[in-house]
Chains A and B, each alone.
Chain A
Amino acid sequence: MAMAASEIEALIKAALPDARVTVEDLAGDGDHYAATVVSEQFRGISRVKQHQIVYAALRGRMGGELHALALQTAAP
């Protein structure tokens, strides 16, 4: 099972409407992605919490369908 970059982006944007999201397929197998997410909602919260927000947006696919997601998050 793999995921499309567009699906990842859509899920993140559904949870973070203001976010600027870039998703890059690292291995061409739909399983290993790198993503950057910039959102006002990340301002003032720890990196761990920022990443947890993105993982929650992916509704449980992280670690299952989606094996690897190299994540970079930031506030604008």
Chain B
Amino acid sequence: MADTVFDRIKGNVESNDVFLYMKGTPMFPQCGFSARVVQILSHVGVPFQSANVLEDMELREGIKQFSNWPTIPQLYVKGEFVGGCDIITEMFQSGELETMLSEKGVATKAQA
């Protein structure tokens, strides 16, 4: 049933400050866009959890309905959908990503 996958998603994004739905894993990303977001998060030095949607078709479709966003990767900070690869890249380049993280009380390498 759809709500169990939504419950799982809610559980993931609400119990982890930074959560990334991606194709592959941070060690072995299987999509250029997912890999770029992993690089940005590592560069900023923010710890994050992730889920490999390629291993879970129900999650892969459920997450798109949950956020009303048609593509993967999807980044969540403090339970809130922040964006996909384009938006995260734009925010990183403008410094907005680090500002948003510190405003939400998420420690990054710079502050650690």
Contact = CB atoms under 8 A, between A and B. Distances in A.
Contact of A71 (B68, B81, B82, B86): B86
Interface in A27-76: 47-48, 51-52, 55, 60, 62-64, 68, 70-72
Nearest to B32: A68
Interface residues of A, number: 13
A60 B64 CA distance: 11
Q: Chain B: interface secondary structure?
A: mixed
13 contacts: A48-B81, A51-B69, A51-B83, A51-B84, A55-B69, A60-B70, A62-B71, A63-B64, A63-B70, A68-B33, A70-B86, A71-B86, A72-B90
Contacts of A71: 86
B2 interface: no
Interface residues of B, number: 13
B87 interface: yes
Contact of B87 (A47, A62, A63, A68): A47
B82 A48 contact: yes
Nearest to A68: B33
A27 to B, nearest CB: 11
Interface in B34-51: none
A64 B71 CA distance: 9
Contacts of A68: 33, 71
Contacts of B70: 55, 60, 62-64
Given A51-B84, A55-B70, A72-B90, 11 more contacts: A48-B81, A51-B83, A51-B86, A51-B87, A52-B68, A52-B69, A55-B69, A62-B71, A63-B64, A63-B70, A63-B71
